[in-house]
Amino acid sequence: MGNGPLSRFTVLDLTRVRSGPAAVRQFADWGANVIKIEEPGQAPDDKPGGSAQFADYQNTHRNKQSITLNLKHPEGRALFLDLVRKADVVVENYRPSVKFKLGIDYESLRKINPRIVYGSVSGFGQDGPYVDRPGLDQIAQGISGMMSVTGEPGRGPMRAGIPVADLTAGLFCAIGLLVALLEREASGEGQWVQTSLLQSQLWMMDFQAMRWLMNGEVPGQSGNDHPTSSPTGVFPTQDGYMNIAAMGNDIFARLCRVLDLTPLLDDERFRTVPLRAKNRPALNAAIAERTRTRKTDEWIALMNREGVPCGPILSMDQVFEDPQVQHLRMRQPIRHPKLGTISVVGQPVIMSRTALGELGPAPETGEHNRTVYETLLGLEPARIEALAREGVI
C-alpha cells in the first residue's frame, strides 16, 4: 500500500460484493491509498461470518486498509466528510437512492471538496424507469441480450460462467475515474462518474448488438460455434476436446491440409465463408471425424506448426499449470498473516517501466482504524476508543 504509480491518490471505498470492488481493485493494485469503509458490527454479504479469509474476498479486496464507520450516525457522517476533504476518489455501488439518504451523494461531497472524483456503479443507472429495481449480474445478462445468445440452440437461455456484467461495470467505472482524474489536472475540479451493469453488458454485446442495430438481424444461440464464422468451435479428440478457429479461406485451407481433408476445398458447400457458415453441421461433422483420431496435444502441435489457431480446453486446476499462464505471472502470491502464502489472480496489464508491486492481503474489518484515524485525521487514541464505544466506528 502507498507505493506505485497511483500512490498519490487516496480512495474511499464504500463498495461491496463485486462490481464496485472490481473498480477499486485497479486503484489498490497500482498503489493508491485505498481505505475500505465498513459498517461496525456487520458481516457483509461478501465476507461470510465476518472472515476476510474467504478466498474470493482475498482476491477482490487485496491491498486495502479497512476502517469501520457508521455513516448513519451524525458523528460518523462528520468523520466521513473529514476523510473526503483529504481524499481524491469516492466509489460506491449502493442502490441509487441510498447515498442521498445518507447525505453522501456527489453534490453534497463536492461542496466540501470540489476536487473529489465520485464513482457510482448501479444495476441500471442513476435514473430512468428501472432506477429503483435491485440490479444483479444475472439480471443484467438477461436484459442485455447476453443470455439469448449464450448456450446451445433449443436449450433455452444460458448465463455466462462468470459475473461478466459485474466485472465489466467495475472496469468501466475505473476507466471513467482515471479519465476524470486526468481531466482534473486541467480543470482543477472533480466530477461524478456513473456506469451500470446494464450499460456495461450492452457494450460487451459488441458485434452481436451491431447485427441488430445495423442489419436488423436478431442473433440466436450457437453453442460452442462462432456465431458467424465456420469452422470455429469445439471439436472432439481422442482424449477430450479442443478449440479450432479456422477463419477465412487461407486458414481454412491450412486446416484442411493438416487434417488431410483437402477434398473439402473443392466442395461447393464450403467454398466461401458464408457457405461454410450456412453448411456448418456438415463441415463440423467432417472435421470431427478426423480430430477424433489423435490426442489433443498432437493436433495442437500439428496445427500450430501450420499457423492454424487452436488450443486446449482446460479446467481451472490445469489453467495455472499452463506454461504461458505461468510466464504471464497471472498467479500472484500474497503473504497472509493467518493463512501463510496464498495465491490470487494477477493483473492483466504489463507496463514497460512500471512493475506491479507486491500485493497485500485483504484486511480484517476495522484492522486499520487506529492507523487511519490517527494519521489521516489526527485523532488521539483515547478519542478513537470513545468513538468505538459509542458505535460511531
Annotated active-site positions, please?
166
- Which region holds residue 125: left if phi is over 0, alpha if psi is between -120 and 50, else beta? left
Calculate the CA dihedral of residues 338, 340, 341, 346 and round it to 10 degrees: 0
Calculate the CA dihedral of residues 37, 124, 195, 111 and round it to 10 degrees: -60
